[in-house]
Amino acid sequence: MNLKSIGKRLVACKPNIDSELLERSRIARIGNRIIHLAMILRVVEPLVLIAATLILTSAPALAQGIFGGSDQNVGNGVREAIKWGRNLLFLMGIGGVGWGAVNYMMEKSFMKQMIGGGMAMGIGGVIELVRKFALGEAVNLDTDV
């Protein structure tokens, strides 16, 4: 496919809207552009798939080149990213629960914030558990309350 055939397809994809409406309505023009963008993406989709496949299959070699050729550096970077993600999830959970509590006090809907905050803290806890198991560290359960 070349650019001429893409242009012909775009012209053939004119919506059944009169031109006066397209001139007056901003939403109609945005919708028309979105339809054209979707058609272009359908044409380019195979190339994007091939490029993504090549990038993902060469990612380990690229990562070792970026991190100085040492697999230890790559592993340390991944561990740090997991720690940051875990901490971010936990903090987002605290924020969500706090936001839910404020909404409850203001007599607004609050349950979605509470559930989302609890889920974020729970996922952060599961990530930490998996990380400890992967590193071979002991998982201590403190029962002294």
Residue 111 has a pLDDT of 92
What is the Cα 28 distance to its own chain's centre? 29
From 1, 12, 2, select the one nearest 36 (Cα to Cα).
12
pLDDT digits (tens, 9 = 90+) for 112-136: 999 999 999 999 888 888 888 888 8
pTM over 0.95: no
Identity at 124, one-letter amino acid code = G
User: Cβ neighbours of residue 85 under 8 Å, at least 6 residues apart?
Assistant: 127
- What residues does each domain of the chain span? 3-57, 69-135
pLDDT digits (tens, 9 = 90+) for 72-127: 776 777 788 888 888 899 899 999 999 999 999 999 999 999 999 999 999 988 88
Given a cut of 70, whether residue 15 has pLDDT beyond it is: no
